[in-house]
Amino acid sequence: MSFYVTTPIYYVNAAPHLGHAYTTIAADVMARHHRQRGESVFFLTGTDEHGEPVADAAHAKGVTPQQLADENAARFKALAPLIGASNDFFIRTTDPKHMAKVQEVLSRVRDNGYVYEGTYEGWYCPRCADFKSESDIDPGNRCPIHHIELTREQEDSYFFALSAFQERLQELYEQRPDFVTPRTRYNEALSFVRSGLHDVPLTRHKLTWGVPVPWDSEHVFYVWFDALLNYYTALSYAPAPDGAAPENDLVATFWPASYHVIAKDILRFHAVYWPALLMAAALELPQHLFVHGYLLMEGEKMSKSLGNVLDPFAAIDRYGADALRFYVLREVPFGQDGSVSSASFEQRYESELANELGNLASRTTSMIGRYRNGALSAGELDAELVADFDALGERVCEHVDRAELTLALDEIWQRVRRLNRYVEERSPWQLAKDEARAEELDRVLRTLAEGLRSVAVLLWPYMPASCERLLAALGVSDISIAGAQPGAGGITHVSPLEPLFPKEPADGRG
């Protein structure tokens, strides 16, 4: 089995913010979860470096587009390990290998008869790098996303014959109801297709910051076609991840993508242009697009252009990457819009991470240390508790297979709470006072350790560093999904554990 997951490639017109971290975290959870299942995984993220948004931002700063791209691509690249992302490759669209592949694929699209010359006239938002249809314009000819005035553009272009794919796209949507999820986004994409597709500019004449069009040196490709193709080009030159496909065979192993994870702002490009482009190039279509919502601050989409961003670097400094990963996927149902704030982050950190999971881990490991010197004897588990974990691993897999990351997390968290209730119900500190109940105490401690292993294995994709620490204290080195079943491995020795989520997080904590 192979699993290929991507994030959008982010524009380098400004620095990364929590919105970007969010998508990368979500895709990382999916990648890690599938690795736990023993699948061959490729996880791609990167930066989108051509086009007007970048050229304009560079111009405003008095640097070249390449200088700005280098500077900000480095910041996006640095963000990935900081948020615990385990991406196998980081693609930059100014990489000559990507550019050559774009030229090759788009030449094929032309050879296949889907490119023609014409003149484009219409409303254009330079921040979106997008031509707006009449129905997509705010009063005063403004961009509905950036609220800036649109420009009237007229230029000679080569066109992509999007309209030629009207029927095939409708068929695609009819035959594959899970091509785009959640359902609202599927409906939105399908209704866009049904409303009638128009051909779109494939190249820009006025712009020079882009991939040159091989058959006409006065044009560069419109940035969206250059960008979308990253998902394909990366596989043609990225090094193979450890233990995966042999070098240079990534396309055969990983294409088509299992999941493109994006937010709804770029739905149309991914749900309409992208499959049409792949059809035109005679390439296989991705299996799924998952479209998540916006992280909102004060009711507006967090956005570089609007400047209302929550700094992920600061949050990580104080609480650690795991806490941030947990928070964004727990607080906002994945797939919907939701507000985030420092106050609700701190509250969840304290009530759920420190008081629920952290406390459960501390109590369990310290009781095993205090009452049994860290040693656990082999024996039965408490059947009643184990029954509450029945099919948990399978249910988590089913949710993650559908990118339902908040629902999967909720399933696991119910077990964290169940284990805390179990501690209260069985009160090991009472059992420890009575020598006659030593066996019962052994069973309770064993059951707690096994339950903790189960939740740590399942939470690992969400909070890898903390779960690795917890599993190490339990003496467990195997993080594969098989360990989600209590009793699977036989924990024999438990070591002391420093608090997983200290109540007073120190500044500068990594």
Q: Given the rule CB under 6 A, which residues bind ligand ME8?
A: 8-11, 19-20, 22-23, 48, 227-228, 230, 262-263, 265-266, 294-295, 301-303
Q: Is there a catalytic annotation at residue 50?
A: no
Least separation in angstroms between CB 293 and ligand ME8: 7
* C-beta of residue 282 within 8 angstroms of C-beta of residue 168: no
Q: Residue 92 belongs to what H/E stretch?
A: strand 89-92
CB of 387 to ligand ME8, least distance (A): 39
- Please state the closest distance from residue 342 (CB atom) to ligand ME8, in A: 16
Structure tokens at 254: 């990983």
Which residue, 165 or 231, is less far from ligand ME8 as judged by CB? Answer: 231
Active site residue 397: no
Q: Confirm whether 17 is a catalytic residue.
A: yes
Q: What CA–CA distance (Å, rounded) separates 274 from 269?
A: 6
Residue nearest to ligand ME8 (CB): 19
For the CB of residue 232, give the shortest distance to ligand ME8 in the complex, in Å: 11
Q: How far is the CB of 332 from ligand ME8 (least distance, A)?
A: 9
- CA angle, residues 188, 173, 104, in degrees to nearest 5: 100
> Smallest distance from the beta carbon of 231 to ligand ME8, in angstroms?
7
Is 4 within 8 Å of 225 (Cβ atoms)? Answer: no
Judged by CB, which is closer to ligand ME8: 50, or 443?
A: 50
142 and 148 in contact (C-beta within 8 Å)? yes
Q: How far is the CB of 208 from ligand ME8 (least distance, A)?
A: 19
SS3 sequence, 133-148? CHHHCECCCECCCCCC
**What is the token pair recorded at 136?**
């997509």
143 is catalytic: yes
Q: Which one, 79 or 449, has the nearer CB to ligand ME8?
A: 79
Write a three-state SS string for 468-501: HHHHHHCCCCCCCHHHHCCCCCCCCECCCCCCCC
Q: Which one of the listed residues 33, 98, 101, 143 is annotated catalytic?
A: 143
Measured from the Cβ of residue 498, the count of other Cβ atoms closer than 10 Å reads: 9
Tell me if residue 61 is catalytic. no
Alpha helices in 37-175 (DSSP H): 52-61, 65-82, 96-111, 166-175
Whether 142 and 314 have beta carbons less than 8 Å apart is answered as no
b vs e for 463-477, b when ≥16 Cβ sit within 10 Å of the residue's Cβ? bbebbbbbbebbbbe
61: amino acid identity, one letter: K
Q: How far apart are CA 357 and CA 452, in angstroms?
A: 9
Contacts of residue 447, Cβ cutoff 8 Å, sequence gap at least 6: 381, 382, 385, 386, 422, 486
Quick one: 193 or 332, whose CB is closer to ligand ME8? 332
The nearest distance, CB 147 to ligand ME8, in angstroms, is 15
Query: HSE (CB half, 13 Å, CA atoms) of 119?
Result: 4
- Comparison of 35 and 301: residue with beta carbon closer to ligand ME8: 301
Provide the residue type at 443 as one letter.
Answer: R
Closer to ligand ME8 by Cβ: residue 84 or 428: 84
**Annotated catalytic residue within 34, 125, 260, 399:** 125
Of 55 and 441, which has the nearer Cβ to ligand ME8? 55
Output 129 or 354, the one with its CB closest to ligand ME8.
Answer: 129
Active site residue 304: yes
Residues marked as catalytic: 17, 20, 125, 128, 143, 146, 301, 304
